[in-house]
Structure 1
Amino acid sequence: MQTVLSQALHTPRLIVRAIQENDLPDLFKVFSDDTVTRFLPYITWEDTLAAHSWYARAREMAAQASAVQCVIVDKESSQVIGSCLLFRFDTESERCELGYALAQSHWGGGYMAEALRALLTHAFGEMGINRVEAEVDPRNPASAQLLRKLGFTQEGLLRQRWKMKGEIKDTWMFSLLRDEWQAANRPG
């Protein structure tokens, strides 16, 4: 099982690629929005120090082969409009988790589904992953709907799973298996 993104992924409207330091100004626009970060496990970025701190953690996790942090680039504007990542790799079980965030200005346009289709195809193919998991705050039905649209199965509710931002939160657990993805995405 690989734990790196070996190449940029291209879709009709997007490029999904590894993060670079020069992406931080665009990402700051995404992660400085309280609406975007409401259900994320980290605080809203208030300054560039938060952005650089996050980037340093992303680079450290990549160096340890524990995460693949990607940005989502809109081909038309060349702007970074969001991020997605695979993390918490379990190489023995060929499993990882999925995370994602998108600029509010691009919500409802199918951008995240398009980006995640490319990332999941790569994960289940070249990376050799068998199971992708995702957790969703029950108060975020749009995220749950996105995962269902991509073929994820909701496996259950994990009660009081996390304490984030001073609040104890439940989470829905979703998963998608390689054979399910391949069966649903066969050409023809």
Structure 2
Amino acid sequence: MTAPVLITGRRAVLRDWTPEDIEAYRRWIVPPADGGVHEWQLFDGPFYSRWTAEGANRWCDGLLRKAYDGAWPAVRENLAIADADSGEFVGQVSWYWEEKPTEPDAEGTRLLPWRRLGLVVFDPSHWSGGYGTEAFGLWTTYLFSATDSNRLDFATWSGNVGMCRVGQKLGFTEEARYRKARQVRGELYDAVVYGVLREEWTAVR
């Protein structure tokens, strides 16, 4: 069992998943009974395949087992976001490998650890309230502190204005823009990547 993670900000708290968080999360990712979509899915990667009920429940059941066992990895791959005042679950932060590191070869050449970040605030009532920006900043600080990553980045699309603003507010640099690369609801949008280097992040914090 690893030591629990609890990172507190003014509006948002990042924490290891509780069973209550997971059940709230389950309600946000299991498809609605009417066959529609949750509002957050209109913005968070709408061009990717959506959860099936079976897949969502299987994922949540796996999280529940980890929560009861405390079997979290030393570097968390995701954390729940809670409202700092009420403790209510509002979203999650995550990361995945864009490129896994390798050991240096004879000439000292290697692939560096390259983590790509994710953020979802599920309930629209918590949008535009600073929760996402603060949570993402706390997550970035955590990962630079807990890993040897030289850079962190995230990928989004130009129609997700809120996520683009999160990157801009936190000082991430727009590093790539692939024009008209995403089609959403019949319209073409740009794919965008925002990144930040360790020295850039630590210089202002």
**Which bin holds the TM-score, normalised by the shorter protein?**
0.7 to 0.9
Q: Give the corresponding residue for 1:101.
A: 120
Q: Which amino acid aligns with 1:95?
A: W
Q: Percentage identity across aligned positions?
A: 24
Partner of 1:110: 130
Question: Structure 2 matches for 1:13-24, cutoff 5 A?
Answer: 13-24=11-22
Compared with structure 1, are the counterparts of its residues 50 and 130 closer, same or farther at alpha carbon in structure 2 (3 Å cutoff)? same
Q: Residue 178 in 1 paired to residue 198 in 2?
A: yes
CA RMSD of aligned residues (A): 3.6
Residues 35 and 180 of structure 1: is their aligned pair in 2 closer, same or farther, counting only changes over 3 Å? same
Q: Which has the larger radius of gyration?
A: 2
Gaps of 5+ in 1: none
Question: What secondary structure, in the 3-state scheme, does the structure 1 residue paired with 2:77 have?
Answer: strand
Say which of 69, 87, 106 aligns to 2:78: 69
Residue 44 (structure 2) aligns with: 40
Is 1:51 the equivalent of 2:56? Answer: yes
Corresponding residue number in structure 2 for 1:139: 159
TM-score of the pair, normalised by structure 2: 0.70
User: For the structure 1 residues 64 and 160, does the alpha-carbon distance in structure 2 shift closer, same or farther, using more than 3 Å as the test?
Assistant: farther
Q: Secondary structure at the match of 2:146?
A: coil
Q: Secondary structure at the match of 1:125?
A: helix
Q: CA deviation at 1:13?
A: 3.0
Q: How does 1:75-86 map to 2 (within 5 A)?
A: 75-86=84-95
Deviations 1:132-159 (A, max 9, x none): 1111111111210111111111112235
**Could you say if the C-alpha distance between residues 153 and 184 of structure 1 is closer, same or farther in structure 2, counting changes exceeding 3 Å?**
same
Q: Is the alpha carbon distance of 1:100 and 1:58 closer, same or farther for their aligned partners in structure 2, counting shifts above 3 Å?
A: farther
Task: Give yes or no for contact 1:28–1:51 (8 Å, CA) kept in 2.
Answer: yes
**5+ unaligned residues in a row in structure 2: which ranges?**
32-36, 65-70, 102-110
Name the CA distance, whole Å, in 1 between partners of 2:135 and 2:41.
Answer: 19
Structure 1 residues 164 and 140: alpha-carbon distance in aligned structure 2, compared to 1, 3 A threshold: closer
Give the match's secondary structure for 2:5: coil
| Post-superposition CA distance 1:49-92 (Å, at most 9, x none) | 45323336779xx9899971211011322211011102116334
Greater shift after overlay, 137-146 or 156-165? 156-165
Number of residue pairs the alignment of both structures matches: 179
